[in-house]
Structure 1
């Protein structure tokens, strides 16, 4: 066996072996002990507590999808630095793979897009996709018992979760449209929604896609490719032994990362290096304190099936539905091959913002997406040549490099 093959074999079994051990240890680590162990002060705070800590007023809302998933969505009604009436329509800000709405707050009020966009006087809504720690509920299914709870991937996000969130926001605000901002997976699933449910195109003024993730054929992230291919390879084994949830908050990967990266020296060296290998190096872009905080909320959990879908996406030159294999594809889709998402149907005005040093959502894959969209307003490359994937959520330079372009298009489609 090659070293990579050994790693692929060992990784999922190791996660299963140590998951319960570390979980038992962490079960006894409450807020006081975390304080004594010098975890970041923000590590035990949820979205509303984080926002309140910095002087922002937020709300928590519950959204129920057509297929029964119970999603948590947050709202910042007005930014701390907003000195004028709230602009309309509302803005929806969607997180990426293995993230939650917390990712838009973790870099603090001077850099987090959740704060910065609300400071521009927008009514900002931040949903959480099914399967992360804020949206781990269902009206009938128990995620700890029922495997059917975890039978989802990108298609369900786009077909159920985003439409349910949009409808809830429009009902609550009595608006006819909203403006959409989606990062990474949150950009790709927006495209899926509009290709599958074209009636939602009239509900969006403009969509701003930040390093959108669709196909990942040319991803330069060896770690991302290895991780996703591992889940794809062991997808049948993991589901056979009852492992349906991938990389949850409180799992071995997240807890170990949070424990190690709470140390300032380790965070500024080893943890920063790991992020650079995964998403692209960008020295000086991310504050050490942000590195320490983000691992308290990341990874946030998803399904094994969703990770297997990403394993498929790095090995095919297409943006398509989940591939079950020829026999089941015939049953599910009526064809041997899973159908590709029809991007020619996506007529919503779209802006793409991305960087040249993005290891995960490579420029080549995003240029492919841009070439397929019939109403692309702008394909914008960030001026900073080292701008990478995680910079969107965690860089201290967001207000300089991406906020102006976001603000430009939100203004054009707001009143």
Structure 2
């Protein structure tokens, strides 16, 4: 009960911070303020600015979904170290839960997957989804005042955001298909898209799932379980008081952690321990400078309802829609229980890359997932026995442990162009 009380206080403080501090949020984002407080330089720019700093000119694009959400996505057409023609089709890189496209830059040009894949001469696109700080706009809804903006889970992300981003890239580049790399939620929403939106799997030549999420029956992270279960327990109370946004950038949780972790010593101790609590320990994998940068971008925000879906997924042996309760389920789905997402609809040739020490998408759940996908080319287990879930985005070992396998399959499903 004491732990839940702490969460209640945190939620209230976060709500007060967001509702009463538009000027405070501006101060938080203000670069002069952050510089004066010692924030690392790489945490301050947005995607295009940071990529340009390291010699990777990029583009900012706006995608509008069928249900009106406005998403900002980014493109690196040619990597700094690309010496030959650009390969086709374009490659879409999708982030995980509570992350943004900035995650692919946070570990720097020697380790960030956006840099590394574009260096291999791929037309690299980094997507974003509704609810993070690159996806908090809507044609008609105001995320600060309209409850309906936050009534989404992975289902809506997969059903609307993924198709919109894919269609935009195809139309903009005049490509027939893309190659898709999905990290954690970025893969689960792909599976949902294939289940709910007929024909969209046909627009992708190969799917590379990096620690792909689906069911979460055997999730081992005690801390992560505690967080999402607290959201589920408090969901009725939170909605009653108008609290629908979870862990946003600029909220008290993210602000506090970013402020603390700017200090090199604290980042190397407390903040490193915090990441180990969220996932599992992997000593020496993530640079201290990366820790200082990433917490200015993480957590990036989502809906409370989405975190409740994650909590629900811990208690079922399946990958299914949101559970509204038996009465509401009957009205909405025509069944007492939520229907399962149809994993057999993911007919795209699929590669799964996972780690033995992953406490979030654990080996047992990854094996379950691969057994239900109809076209798995390979399930590659990273050789490093300590490789975990967070390593995928932030490890300095990325270029050694997972990049070769990613490039192997991108090459098989790509051609050179004259771009």
Fold match by TM threshold 0.5:
yes
- Given that 1:267 and 1:291 are in contact with CA atoms closer than 8 Å, whether structure 2 keeps it comes out as yes
Helix, strand or coil at the partner of 1:96: coil
Query: Retained in 2: the 8 A contact 1:22–1:252?
Result: no
Report the counterpart of residue 182 of structure 2 in structure 1: 182
Distance in 1, Cα, partners of 2:45 & 2:218: 37
Q: Distance in 2 between matches of 1:25 and 1:169?
A: 36
Please show how residues 16-415 of structure 1 align to structure 2 within 5 Å: 16=15, 25=24, 27-29=26-28, 30-415=30-415
Shift of the 318–116 alpha-carbon distance from structure 1 to 2, 3 Å rule, reads same
CA displacement at 1:334 relative to structure 2: 1.2
Q: Which moved more, 1:17-26 or 1:388-397?
A: 17-26
Instruction: State how far apart, in whole Å, the 1-side matches of 2:179 and 2:36 are.
Output: 43
Tell me by how many angstroms 1:5 deviates. Answer: 4.9
The 2-side partners of 1:22 and 1:71 are apart by 24
For residue 336 of structure 1, report the CA deviation from its aligned partner. 1.1
Could you tell me how far 1:190 is from its partner in structure 2?
0.5
CA contact (8 A) 1:91 1:123 kept: yes
Q: Secondary structure of 1:78's match?
A: coil
Distance (Å, rounded) in 1 between the aligned partners of 2:147 and 2:18: 18
Q: CA deviation at 1:26?
A: 5.3
> What's the CA shift string for 1:324-348, capped at 9, x where partnerless?
1111111111111110111122211
TM-score by length of structure 2 reads 0.96
* Distance change >3 Å, CA 229–CA 23, structure 1 → 2: farther
Q: Distance in 2 between matches of 1:53 and 1:340?
A: 45
Give the Cα separation in 1 of the matches to 2:245 and 2:336: 28
Per the TM alignment, residue 16 of structure 1 is displaced from its structure 2 partner at its CA by: 3.7
Asked if the contact 1:184/1:210 (under 8 Å) is kept, the reply is yes
Q: Against the structure 1 CA distance between its residues 225 and 282, is the aligned structure 2 distance closer, same or farther, given a 3 Å change threshold?
A: same
Spell out, residue by residue over 1:357-403, the C-alpha distance to the aligned partner (whole angstroms, 9 max, x if none).
Answer: 11111111111101101101111100100001110000000000000
1:198 positional shift = 2.9
Q: Which runs of 5+ in 1 are unaligned?
A: none
Does the Cα contact within 8 Å between 2:62 and 2:71 map onto a contact in 1?
A: yes
Query: Secondary structure of the residue that 1:57 maps to in structure 2?
Result: coil
User: What is the alpha-carbon distance in structure 2 between the residues aligned to residue 9 and residue 318 of structure 1?
Assistant: 30
Give the equivalent residue in structure 1 for 2:11: 12
Q: What is the SS of the residue equivalent to 1:214?
A: coil
Q: Give 1:28 deviation, angstroms.
A: 3.1
1:138 and 1:295 map into 2 onto residues whose CA distance is 26
Per-residue CA deviation, residues 296-337 of structure 1 (Å, 9 max, x unaligned), is 111111111101111111121111000011111111111111
Deviations along 1:18-61, one digit per CA (max 9) or x if unpaired, are 66688765543421221121110122200000100000010000
- Contact 2:17 2:251 (8 Å CA) reproduced: no
1:284 & 1:20 partners in 2: Cα distance?
40
What's the offset of the Cα at 1:7?
A: 4.6
- Indicate conservation of the 8 Å contact 2:103/2:394, yes or no: yes
Distance 2:259 2:198 in 1: 45
Q: What is the distance in 2 between the residues matched to 1:109 and 1:322? A: 38
Q: Is the 8 A contact 2:13 2:252 kept in 1?
A: no
Aligned Cα root-mean-square deviation (Å): 1.5
- Given that 1:23 and 1:252 are in contact with CA atoms closer than 8 Å, whether structure 2 keeps it comes out as no
Summarize the Cα distance change of 1:46–1:5 in structure 2 as closer, same or farther, 3 Å threshold: closer
Q: Is the Cα–Cα contact under 8 Å of residues 63 and 164 in structure 2 kept in the other structure? A: yes
Report the Cα distance in structure 2 between the residues aligned to 1:315 and 1:182, rounded to whole angstroms: 24
| Structure 1 residues 9 and 110: alpha-carbon distance in aligned structure 2, compared to 1, 3 A threshold | same
Give me the whole-angstrom Cα distance separating, in 2, the residues matched to 1:83 and 1:132: 34
Q: Secondary structure at the match of 1:114?
A: helix
Number of aligned residue pairs: 414
Contact 2:14–2:252 (8 Å) recurs in 1: yes
Following the alignment from structure 1 to structure 2, what is the Cα–Cα distance between the partners of residues 12 and 41? Answer: 30
3-state SS of 2:125 partner = strand
- For 2:289, what is the secondary structure of its paired residue? helix
